[in-house]
Structure 1
């Protein structure tokens, strides 16, 4: 038996850290997607105001297995 997976792109932002942005993105994706098996951090950026980082953003490629 084989399985089919799908990849979806999610963007998540945090005012705390990159790690927090990743965690929140996965937690939110888990609310609507089933069978999440992994994620790849495709991109990460920061927003800066007056020389200070104000937020961290990640673009995640989330892989989940489709129901059979």
Structure 2
């Protein structure tokens, strides 16, 4: 279960989210989608919570996996 204000650690980074950094959950859309803030202001991307875990998927024209992945901190 994810709640607004939860802290997430980035375990696989990309150009937006840096591996090892801690990010905050923003507004909850539903039990599968929610915002992950990118900084101290209101910038965010929408994350998915499913059987793959927590991730933000970015469109990419390359074969490389361009998802940022996160673990929830206890």
Report the TM-score, using the length of structure 2 for normalisation.
Answer: 0.27
Q: Larger RCO: Structure 1 or Structure 2 (Cα < 8 Å, ≥ 6 residues apart)?
A: 1
Report the TM-score, using the length of structure 1 for normalisation.
Answer: 0.29
Task: Give the greater-gyration-radius structure (CA).
Answer: 1
Q: Which has the higher strand share?
A: 1
